[in-house]
Amino acid sequence: MKKYKKIFRLLPLDQRRFKFLYIFSILLIFCLFGRLVKLQVFNASDLQRKARLIQSSKTNALKKRRAIVDRNNRLIAYDKPFYKLWAHPKYFNFPGDSINRVRSIEEVTEKLSTILDIHDEILLRKFNNKMSGIKLLDKISEENAEKIKNLQISGLDLFKYSQRYYPQRELYSNLVGFVNDENKASAGLELYLDNQIKVFNKSNLIKRGGDGTPLPDNSAPGDFISDYKSLGLTIDSKLQKASFNALSKQVTKWKAKKGFAIVMDVNNGQILSLVTFPSYDPNKFWQYNSELFRGWYSQDLFEPGSTFKPINLALALEEKVIQKDGVVEDIGEINVGGWTLSNWDKKGNGYIDYPKVLQVSSNVGMVKIMQNLDPKIYWDWLKNLGINKNLETDLFESTAGQLKRKDLFVNQSIEPAVTSFGKGFSISPLKLVQLHAALANGGFEVTPHVTSTFKERVNKNPKKQFFSDEVSKTVLEWMESVVDKGSGSGVRIEGYRIAGKTGTSQKALNGSYTSKKVCSFVATLPVNDPKYAVLVVVDEPSKSFAYGSTVAVPVAKEIIESLIVIEKIPPKIKDHGMIVKKP
């Protein structure tokens, strides 16, 4: 059969159709180009950011604050890890279940109640017909959190966080302070040294592939290691506890407003113990009056009274207005500028030497001694001692002492007269112990501090010398006679040479003195090789016969007895003026 070829006739393209396809193609190209410009130019940075989020993950250390430890590495404060448990009932699914199966709330709470030791009815009430975002519990321990993880129940989320914990509770609270519920430093060293305690870890990015697998990068060794250094204190926890017990017992016994006790190394300013009472538990800070959070030992001022008399005697010796073997007449009272000043007991002591002035705490004797010193020179000495300056320290921000203007001090004879026995000006307890440390160490200024790293900053500055070594030794021996024969005899310990001075000063209110008192006692030991200064201050004891000798001295003795044991201070005995080791 003959085959025929089919012939198609080509017709010319319709011009309108051709123009339409041409214009549509051009528009499509322009749209694609416009989209490309938008992605590459206008949205580039945003797309890069989204890509980085997918391709990398940010790592941050969970630890937020350094631990605080004493000089023997005993924990004082640290971050304790806890977990919050969140529930999403619409996703509840047990291991081995089909992907679409949803377990009941009752089935889940039954398993949780066993681990958490909480009745399942209590857990059930927390759901309150909600199906997502339910906070069941917080403060879940790491042990229980691990048990919950091992259940592998879908719909349960554990969120890890840290909470500051203070294992020694009220023992350090007035020194260390606390961190509030929002993890913000709120008092004490936690607040004052916040930048040193915070852990500043740099953020690190781990690169990932499309499937989430970590990719190698150029991270240096140690880039992902958290900073776990502790803040070390110079405090000894055993001595801290002994000091706290002694102080709290006496403050309670005398129904006093508050009390303070400190032990400091006179050669370098390291504080071995620092306690105040009343105190508070920083783990439950919200239960206490905020007044307790203050570091009043560096922020509040008081008239030091007779505990300043040894400082004044050192000034008189330095200016050579008295001699070591001199005497002064004490008839019990003296008139200065129309004011009558008297001894604490209104009695005279006759002609007495300077050690006796301290032993009986003679106000009249001190007035006559310091009248030999030109008031201008006297005031300059007080300024040089830093009476009216802030004390540099790593504790609470200190308050500068109050000193009368120089023109008033020079032109009104009553001012230097009352200053001679520790009145008419005010300082902080911390400043007082600093001055007595200078008397003990040969006259050099030291800075009270509690952190181990503080010395690195202090040692850069040359030591300032207040008194000569000879004057310091002389005054210290005179103070020793106060313990041997005077008002400080209650602190005497057989085999140890201890110097001391009691103080009982009235508190001023609106320019006049009241019946309220501040009782204090300062001690230095051992006299033959001075190393420790102990200061006890008890504010407003409310019972009768409250003096430095009856209120503060017993606290100091208990502290010194503990100090001798903890620091292993060897005993010494006097033998005809010679110091020998006790066999």
What is the distance of C-alpha 179 from the center of its chain?
Answer: 11
Block residue for tokens 């001595």: 239
- In Å, how far are 267, 438, 446, 452 from 441, measured between CA atoms? 6, 5, 9, 20
Res 163: pLDDT: 83
Q: Look at residue 145 and give its three-state secondary structure.
A: helix
Q: pTM of the entire structure?
A: 0.79
Q: What percent of the chain has pLDDT over 70?
A: 85
Q: Which two tokens stand for residue 216?
A: 């190698």
Res 579: pLDDT: 45
- Sorted by sequence, the CB contacts under 8 Å of residue 546 that are 6+ apart come out as 254, 504, 517, 519
Query: Helix, strand, coil: what percent of the chain each, to 5?
Result: 40, 25, 40
Average pLDDT, stretch 511-536? Answer: 91
DSSP state of 39: I
DSSP state of 113: H
Quick check: 69 pLDDT over 50? Answer: yes
Dihedral over Cα of 248, 252, 254, 257: its sign: positive
More confidently predicted of 21 and 319: 319
Q: Which amino acid is at 196?
A: Q
Q: What is the pLDDT of residues 420-451, one digit of tens each?
A: 999 999 999 999 999 999 999 999 999 999 99
- Cβ atoms 64, 161 nearer than 8 A: no
What is d(CA 383, CA 370) in angstroms, rounded to the nearest whole number? 16
Q: Which amino acid is at 37?
A: V
Label residue 310 exposed, middle or buried (CB < 10 Å: 0-12, 13-18, 19+): buried
Query: What confidence tier does 345 reach under pLDDT thresholds 50, 70, 90?
Result: confident
pLDDT winner (highest mean) among 159-163, 481-485, 512-516:
481-485
Q: Which two tokens stand for residue 8?
A: 């198609």
Distance between terminal CA atoms of the chain? 145
Q: Look at residue 511 and give its three-state secondary structure.
A: coil
Res 259: pLDDT: 95
Lowest pLDDT segment from 139-143, 165-169, 239-243, 552-556: 139-143
Quick check: 507 pLDDT over 90? Answer: no
Average pLDDT, stretch 270-288? Answer: 94
C-alpha R_g of the chain: 38
Query: What confidence tier does 5 reach under pLDDT thresholds 50, 70, 90?
Result: low
Number of helices and strands in the chain (H, E): 20, 18
What is the distance of C-alpha 227 from the center of its chain?
Answer: 21
Query: What confidence tier does 212 reach under pLDDT thresholds 50, 70, 90?
Result: very low
Sketch out the chain's domains with CATH numbers. Answer: 68-203+227-232 (3.90.1310.10), 237-581 (3.40.710.10)
**What's phi and psi for 76, nearest 5 deg?**
-115, -40
Q: Which residues are catalytic?
A: 306
Q: What is the pLDDT of residues 311-336, one digit of tens each?
A: 999 999 999 999 999 999 999 999 99
- Sorted by sequence, the CB contacts under 8 Å of residue 157 that are 6+ apart come out as 85, 86, 87, 88
- Cβ atoms 425, 387 nearer than 8 A: yes
- Cβ atoms 439, 472 nearer than 8 A: yes
Per-chain mean pLDDT for the chain: 85
**What's phi and psi for 262, nearest 5 deg?**
-140, 145
Res 58: pLDDT: 53
- Sorted by sequence, the CB contacts under 8 Å of residue 447 that are 6+ apart come out as 269, 391, 392, 393, 434, 454, 458
Q: What percent of the chain has pLDDT over 90?
A: 54
Lowest pLDDT segment from 45-49, 89-93, 257-261, 356-360: 45-49
Average pLDDT, stretch 527-538? Answer: 96
Dihedral angle of Cα 432, 434, 440, 441, to the nearest 10 degrees: -170
Q: Which two tokens stand for residue 522?
A: 């300062």
Res 219: pLDDT: 47
- Length of the chain (residues): 583
- Cβ atoms 518, 300 nearer than 8 A: no
Quick check: 14 pLDDT over 80? Answer: no
Label residue 27 exposed, middle or buried (CB < 10 Å: 0-12, 13-18, 19+): exposed
Q: What is the pLDDT of residues 84-102, one digit of tens each?
A: 888 888 878 888 878 888 8
Q: Which two tokens stand for residue 17?
A: 């159709």
Res 370: pLDDT: 95
Average pLDDT, stretch 292-306? Answer: 91
Q: What is the pLDDT of residues 189-208, one digit of tens each?
A: 999 998 888 876 555 555 55
